[in-house]
Amino acid sequence: MPYSSSLTDKEWELIEALLPQKKKTRPPKWSKRQILDGIFYQLKNGCNW
């Protein structure tokens, strides 16, 4: 279940287009979307990392 700070699919489409393309390496542990959602959650709620 997404948080109120989570990106919508439409918002993610806009941001994803601005991010650098993935290099051919091992699969990431977290997606870029999960990382951004975490950053926005922290900024909105002011919680400690």
In a domain, 35, yes or no: yes
Per 3-state DSSP, what percentage of the chain is helix, strand, and coil (rounded to 5)? Answer: 45, 0, 55
| Token couple for 3 | 């948080």
The answer to whether residues 36 and 6 touch, using CB atoms and an 8 Å cutoff, is no
Range of the domain at 41: 9-45
Whether pTM exceeds 0.75? no
**pLDDT at position 1, please?**
59
In a domain, 1, yes or no: no
In a domain, 2, yes or no: no
- The tens digit of pLDDT for each residue in 1-49 reads 578 888 899 999 999 999 888 777 888 899 999 999 988 989 888 876 6
**pLDDT at position 49, please?**
61
Provide the number of structural domains found in the chain. 1
